[in-house]
């Protein structure tokens, strides 16, 4: 695999104390994380908020993955909390273009996420205006959801449209399938339960990263 691929720990919790604990854990083995934000509407679950993140001394770089309706209402808060990139769902925005413009005006990187059932064609008009695409390989909202391999077919389609676009995948990825996922040509792989629900999160992270070198 010629492409340098990175494992990105994905933090998903509704407990502010668990958030603080997970951030402390990952600071020992990575310098970049994704924090999942859920509103109980776009997905059934709820999570911590930007206010919780802002109240902590977060020393890592991090991106916010917004699984929320009306993502435009969250942008200033996550800028204030210190996000370096905001990823929002195509399915959650009435029109993605204004949301992209607002994130840009805040000086942040922009990512667009799509659920497994959403085709690449739906986001084609936006691809030249964003920094990354996040392909959901599970139905979003829960740790431990079942991996949907067909979603990986979108990687080659995205590469044909915009060869240099950064592509991430998120959901259901673990030791048994991470090499297959990496071989599709992605840039980063978000991993939640395969890191945080293991006895030794640091060792699990390093094992996953070693499998894709």
Three-class DSSP category at 48: coil
Residue that has been written with the tokens 């991106």 in this structure: 63
Q: How far, in Å, are 45, 78, 80, 105 from residue 55 at the CA level?
A: 22, 12, 11, 24
Which three-class secondary structure state does DSSP give residue 86? strand
Please tell me which residue in 31, 36, 131, 153 is annotated as part of the active site.
36
Options 15, 170, 187, 200, the catalytic residue? 170
**To which residue do tokens 């509704």 refer?**
14
Distance CA 185, CA 175 (A): 17
- Distance of CA 194 to CAs 60, 156, 185, 209, Å? 20, 25, 21, 12
How many angstroms separate the CA atoms of 42 and 166, rounded?
24
| CB 148 within 8 Å of CB 125 | no
End-to-end CA distance of the chain: 7
Q: Look up 36 and say whether it is catalytic.
A: yes
101's tokens: 């413009």
Supply the residues annotated as catalytic: 36, 170
């Amino acid at each position: 695999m010629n492409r340098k691929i990175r494992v990105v720990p994905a933090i998903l919790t509704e407990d502010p104390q668990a958030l603080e604990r997970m951030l402390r854990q990952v600071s020992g083995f990575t310098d970049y994380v994704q924090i999942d934000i859920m509103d109980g509407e776009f997905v059934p679950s709820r999570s911590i908020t930007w206010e919780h993140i802002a109240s902590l001394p977060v020393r890592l770089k991090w991106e916010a993955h917004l699984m929320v309706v009306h993502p435009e209402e969250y942008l200033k808060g996550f800028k204030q909390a210190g996000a370096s990139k905001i990823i929002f769902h195509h399915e959650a925005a009435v029109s993605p273009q204004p949301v992209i413009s607002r994130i840009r005006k805040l000086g942040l990187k922009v990512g667009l996420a799509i659920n497994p059932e959403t085709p690449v064609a739906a986001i084609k008009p936006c691809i030249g205006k964003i920094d990354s695409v996040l392909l959901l390989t599970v139905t979003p909202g829960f740790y431990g959801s079942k991996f949907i391999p067909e979603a990986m077919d979108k990687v080659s389609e995205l590469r044909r449209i915009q060869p240099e676009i950064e592509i991430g995948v998120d959901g259901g990825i673990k030791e048994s399938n991470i090499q297959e996922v990496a071989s599709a040509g992605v840039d980063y792989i978000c991993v939640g339960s395969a890191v945080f629900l293991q006895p030794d999160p640091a060792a699990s992270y390093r094992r996953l990263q070693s499998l894709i070198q």
